Amino acid sequence: MHPLPFPAPTPLRDAATDTGGKNLGALPDWDLSDLYPAPDAPEIKRDMDWLEAACRDFAADYEGKLADLDAAGMLDCVLRYERIDTVSGRLMSYMGLRYYQNTTDAERAKAMADAQDKITTYTTPLVFYTLEINRLPDDHLDGLFAANADLARYKPIFDRLRAMKPYQLSDELEKFLHDSSTVGAAAWNRLFDETIAGMMFEVDGEAYNIEGTLNFLSEPERDKREAAARELAAQFGSQIKLFARVHNTLAKEKEITDRWRGLPTPQAGRHLANHVEPEVVEALRNAVVAAYPKLSHRYYALKAKWMGLDKMQVWDRNAPLPREDNRIVDWDEAKATVLEAYADFDPEMARIAEPFFDRGWIDAGVKPGKAPGAFAHPTVAEVHPYVMLNYLGKPRDVMTLAHELGHGVHQVLAAGQGELLSSTPLTLAETASVFGEMLTFRKLLDAAPDKATRKILLAGKVEDMINTVVRQIAFYDFECKLHDARKAGELTPDEIGDLWMSVQGESLGPVFEFMDGYETFWAYIPHFVHSPFYVYAYAFGDGLVNALYAVYEEGDPDFRTKYFDMLKAGGSKHHKDLLEPFGLDASDPAFWDKGLSMISGMIDELEAMED
Architecture of domain 38-183: Up-down Bundle (1.20)
Residue 20 in this model has a pLDDT that exceeds 50: no
What mean pLDDT is predicted for residues 291-312?
96
Q: Give CA–CA dist 297/291, Å, rounded.
A: 9
Task: Provide DSSP, 60-91.
Answer: HHHTTTGGG--HHHHHHHHHHHHHHHHHHHHH
Q: Dihedral of CA 72/78/82/83: which sign? A: positive
Residue 512 in this model has a pLDDT that exceeds 50: yes
Domain boundaries of the chain, sorted by first residue: 38-183
- For helices 536-553 and 589-608, the axis angle rounded to 10 degrees is 70
Please report the pLDDT score of residue 611 as a whole number.
61
- Give the torsion through C-alpha atoms of 421, 424, 425, 429, to 10 deg: 180
Q: Give CA–CA dist 391/363, Å, rounded.
A: 9
Task: Provide DSSP, 381-427.
Answer: TTS--EEE------HHHHHHHHHHHHHHHHHHHHGGG-HHHHPPPHH
Q: Give CA–CA dist 361/363, Å, rounded.
A: 7
Confidence label for 43 from pLDDT (cuts 50, 70 and 90): very high
Q: Dihedral of CA 332/338/343/349: which sign? A: negative
Confidence label for 449 from pLDDT (cuts 50, 70 and 90): confident
Confidence label for 4 from pLDDT (cuts 50, 70 and 90): very low
Q: Give CA–CA dist 297/391, Å, rounded.
A: 30
The 10s digit of each residue's pLDDT in 334-375 is 999 999 999 999 999 999 999 999 999 999 999 989 988 899
Query: What's this model's pTM, rounded to 2 decimal places?
Result: 0.80
Confidence label for 325 from pLDDT (cuts 50, 70 and 90): low
The 10s digit of each residue's pLDDT in 146-184 is 999 999 999 999 998 888 888 888 888 888 888 887 788
Confidence label for 9 from pLDDT (cuts 50, 70 and 90): very low
